[in-house]
Amino acid sequence: MHDAVLSGRQPPAQPRDVVGRSWSRLQADGVSPDRCEDVVLADYAEVEARRTRTALRSVLPELRDTLTQVAEDANFIVVIADADGVVLWREGSRGVRKAADALGFMEGARWSERSVGTNSIGTALVEDAPVQLFSAEHYARSHCGWSCTGSPVHDPRSGEVLGVVDISGSAMSVHPTTVALVQTAVRLAEATLWQEHTITLGKLRGYAAPALGATAGPALVVDRHGWVADARGLTVPDRVSPPCPGTPLLVPGLGLCMLEPLGDGWLVRRGGRPTAIAVELDLGDTPRATVRGDTSWTRALSPRHAQILRLLTETGSAGIDAASLSVALFGDRDHVVAVRAELSRLRKSLGPVLSTHPYRFVDGVDVHVVG
């Protein structure tokens, strides 16, 4: 099946959907199986820098406790990669580690889909879902002796993908329960991150009480992800848009607010009466967006950003998720990563008028399309 699909012949059967989507992406990008065998290795300094800044560092003990001994007993290796698919840690069976070295599957290796083809790390990142691959379901022929199971880890505070937990071994060692094992480890890791978030929010609440007591008028204190530690004089949801230093934050009931550093978070307040926020979208030949509140700013829009904003106006308060946006923009669900990148750039350009999970205009923003 692998040889037939990649040579353009009619295969004896169709690959599983997740495999077919991955092979199609790689073929569309002109990536050959042979090129995928040329592994790119980051140097020691880059690997250490990535290890230092990833949030997965704090949950490494839980992942080790859950998986490492099982992997050694079952002749697997456990691999933890960051959101770029770069392998940060690798433990487990000595024999499998030696085989992985010969493949280039080692710490510092970039195991993204575009780098090494269909694999349970890179493909799990693209699909944003657990992926198990067997033998020739891998794109590169040198990977056909392997079975791999990977699941993405999400930051429960922001929803972003932090990386992937993977268990890999010989093709003959594949087992359906491996998916459940990896997902259990991921859930434990995400629970630990949420517990850290609760502790951090409690500490910030201690800073918040005196600061809010000394503030005239309504105000709130939020962490760097937008989670509300405490508020005075208004009712707010558990979370607002993530603060961006130097950019006003739009808070329902308050309007545009300025940020003041407070501990590991921000004091958010404004004086006077709430200001209505309006967004005017000119989606004609030269698309642009104008945001009006206490101040106003206009941003030129790329054709893709104009298309996204038109879709957001059509979906209204219900919003739309990344997978549905991928279908609307590209005709399939294979471009979720590209969609997220475009929305990230769009939110930085327009400021605090767009929210995520799902993507939509923030409540209270009046949107008017003129083109």
Supply the pTM of this predicted model: 0.76
What is the predicted pLDDT for the residue at 242? 82
Q: Give dist(CA 308, CA 296) in Å, integer.
A: 21
pLDDT at 272 > cutoff 60:
no
Could you count the other beta carbons within 10 Å of the beta carbon of residue 324?
17
**Confidence category of residue 258, pLDDT binned at 50, 70, 90:** confident
What single DSSP character describes residue 15? P
Mean pLDDT of 241-252: 78
Mean pLDDT of 335-355: 81
pLDDT at 50 > cutoff 90:
yes
**Confidence category of residue 271, pLDDT binned at 50, 70, 90:** low
Q: Report whether 309 contacts 353 (CB < 8 A).
A: no
The one-letter amino acid code at 298 reads: T
**Confidence category of residue 295, pLDDT binned at 50, 70, 90:** low
* Cα within 13 Å of Cα(133), Cβ side: 33
CA R_g for the chain:
24
Among residues 162, 171, 93, which one has the least CA distance to residue 132? 171
pLDDT at 112 > cutoff 90:
yes
Q: Which of 92-106, 305-319, 336-350 has the lowest mean pLDDT?
A: 336-350
Element (H, E) at 311: helix 303-315
Burial class of residue 355 (count of CB atoms within 10 Å of its CB; 0-12, 13-18, 19+): buried
Mean pLDDT of 174-199: 91
Q: Report whether 79 contacts 89 (CB < 8 A).
A: yes
Q: How long is the chain?
A: 371
pLDDT at 320 > cutoff 70:
yes
Q: Report whether 265 contacts 204 (CB < 8 A).
A: yes
Could you report the per-residue pLDDT of 116-162, keeping only the tens digit for each? Answer: 999 999 999 999 899 999 999 999 999 999 999 999 999 998 888 99
Mean pLDDT of the chain: 89
Mean pLDDT of 264-281: 78
Distances, alpha carbon 140 to alpha carbons 6, 26, 31, 366, in Å: 11, 11, 10, 51
Q: Give dist(CA 309, CA 342) in Å, integer.
A: 11
Mean pLDDT of 184-205: 94
**Confidence category of residue 333, pLDDT binned at 50, 70, 90:** confident
Q: Give dist(CA 253, CA 363) in Å, integer.
A: 10
